[in-house]
Structure 1
Amino acid sequence: MTQKRATPTIKRRRVGGQLRRWRGSMKSGDAAKLMGWDTTRLSRIERGTYRISGDEVRSLCAKLGVDDPAGVEEVAKAAEEPIGGGWWAAYAGRIGQNYLDFIELEAEAQTIYIQHPVIVPGLLQSPGYVREILTRAPTAAAEHAEMLVSIRMARQAVLSKATKLHALVPESALHAQFESGPAVMRDQIRKLLDASEMPNVELQLIPLTAHPTYGANGGVTILSYRHPWANVASIDSSFGGSHTDDAEQVTFLDGEFSAIASIALSVDKSRDLLNEYLEGLHK
């Protein structure tokens, strides 16, 4: 059967990446011969540019000696999923591929660690705050900005699932002033307070007194998944961020997140301070 070249979606790349990890130290040529393939075909499968069927995943893993039935079945199932699933597929070609990939990665995560040094993280933004952030950007075109507002609000659906969120929010973000008036920040603080009461959300404020080295490297999101998928780290940028599942890099960024969390206010103290801001008691 002719193997069709596939668009290298993030799902295909993750399937290929997991197969590459299972291949381990075995040479690609040797692994390809186990399936009667040439090395180019296996290479393209591992990069996500060739489709692989669920049965081929099971067969390859059996020949590689992978002793992980549940993990193999998870990857085989993912390999069979059609391209273009999920609500975000409607935005393909209208937003950057990196951002599209991130939305899919975020939607499928079991836990999300997120930290931003300047603004309230996107998953916790109120509608008014989102609109202020996105529509007043120097390069924002009205129609495109409104589309981005819709996308950001749709992303927040992950919090209504079992997804666990640990968010580090800079206290300095609560001092933002908008032309629309103080109601924007009042609604945003209420949103943060409501989120802090959710059983799957852990929210900590990074105090104004924190040393500026904490979080100085920009916004980071760390995503973890059910077995056997590798964790992913995403670093914010104007182009939708850059994502990596390199274990060493993810571990490093996870360590940075933990260091920031260690100097942030506790969940209870963060909630108390948010209430002070809402009541206008904090000056």
Structure 2
Amino acid sequence: MKSGDAARLMGWDNTRLSRILRGTYRISGEEVRAFCEKLGVDDPEGVAEVARVADEPAGQGWWTAYKDRVGQNYLDFIELEAEAEMLQVQHPVIIPGLLQSPGYAREMITRAPTVVSPAQAETLAAIRLSRQAVLSKAVKIHALVPESALHAAFESGPALMRDQIRKLIDASQMPHIELQLIPLTTHPTYGAGGAITLLSHKHPWAKVASVDNPLGGTHTDDAEQVDLLEKEFKAIAGVALPVDESRGVLTRYLEGPRK
């Protein structure tokens, strides 16, 4: 149906419909249901979900308190992550943010090559740790963690990494978290493309893929790009250690070398 014809079904002009489609003009859940009915959409579950979101007040997430202190790309990612039903995360170098201990998170932020003020560092650390609220929800998480990250040495001493390994072991024992270690012997081409997060949401929302970068990440719901990154994630998972074996390796790292 042409946009003009679709707009007339609701008594709207083309400009209003264009703004609605771009997400710059809010409509109510009732209008969503009425519009879908006039268009002949036969998907009760999908219509109900879109109507539910349309009725949600804007700016209700905890992350909105940080809107003037971090970039919009990062805020968008946090919201996508918080609303996801399944998360697939992979980092080729460090422990993924959702699984970082407080000490490790602050070490990664304060010692990053990009210089930030103490206040900004504390803000970023608080956000990273707040994001971990998804760990206590019924969100399925599949995490690929590089074994090489367990060899990091910090000036503060080995206690920091021991605490981090304990957090990984605890996470691996949660029924909704699948944690695999990428062994040291893995060919470096696996993960060479950078950190990947795949976010799956309720029907009818499209799956989103995010590639990490210093500007807060690049996110896409383009089907071809998401499919490519899904294949990348699956390939890395295929060479990673099984869950039980990964937990065993983590335990050995925690216990340290036998005398």
Pick the TM interval, shorter chain. over 0.9
Greater RCO, 1 or 2 (C-alpha within 8 Å, sep 6+): 2
Q: 1:79 & 1:265 partners in 2: Cα distance?
A: 42
Q: Kindly provide the CA deviation profile for residues 48-67 of structure 1, in whole angstroms up to 9, marking residues without a partner as x.
A: 11111111111111111110
Equivalence for 1:13:
none
Equivalence for 1:44:
19
Amino acid at match of 1:225: H
Q: 1:28 & 1:263 partners in 2: Cα distance?
A: 48
In the alignment of these two chains, the number of paired residues is 257
Equivalence for 1:185:
161
Amino acid at match of 1:36: G
Equivalence for 2:31:
56
Q: 1:124 & 1:55 partners in 2: Cα distance?
A: 40
Deviates more, 1:101-110 or 1:241-250: 241-250
Q: Please, which of 73, 98, 105 is the counterpart of residue 80 of structure 2?
A: 105
Q: 1:61 & 1:76 partners in 2: Cα distance?
A: 10
RMSD over aligned CA atoms reads 1.1
Q: Please, which of 250, 254, 264 is the counterpart of residue 226 of structure 2?
A: 250
Deviates more, 1:160-169 or 1:42-51: 42-51
- Deviation of residue 28 (structure 1)? 2.2
Amino acid at match of 1:43: S
- Deviation of residue 38 (structure 1)? 2.2
Q: Please, which of 225, 250, 254 is the counterpart of residue 278 of structure 1?
A: 254
Q: 1:193 & 1:160 partners in 2: Cα distance?
A: 15
Q: 2:125 & 2:253 partners in 1: Cα distance?
A: 25
Q: Kindly provide the CA deviation profile for residues 67-101 of structure 1, in whole angstroms up to 9, marking residues without a partner as x.
A: 01121011011011111111111111111111111
Equivalent positions of 1:75-224 (< 5 A) are 75-138=50-113, 139-224=115-200
Equivalence for 2:213:
237
- Deviation of residue 41 (structure 1)? 1.6
Deviates more, 1:246-255 or 1:122-131: 246-255
Tell me, which stretches of 5 or more residues in structure 1 are unaligned? 1-25
Q: 2:257 & 2:37 partners in 1: Cα distance?
A: 64
The SS at the match of 1:262 is helix
Equivalent positions of 1:9-20 (< 5 A) are none
Q: 1:49 & 1:169 partners in 2: Cα distance?
A: 38
Q: 2:184 & 2:61 partners in 1: Cα distance?
A: 39
The answer to whether residue 2 in structure 2 is matched with residue 27 in structure 1 is yes
- Deviation of residue 245 (structure 1)? 1.2
Q: Please, which of 29, 38, 41 is the counterpart of residue 66 of structure 1?
A: 41
Q: 1:173 & 1:245 partners in 2: Cα distance?
A: 30
Deviates more, 1:32-41 or 1:99-108: 32-41
Q: Calculate percent identity across the aligned residue pairs.
A: 71
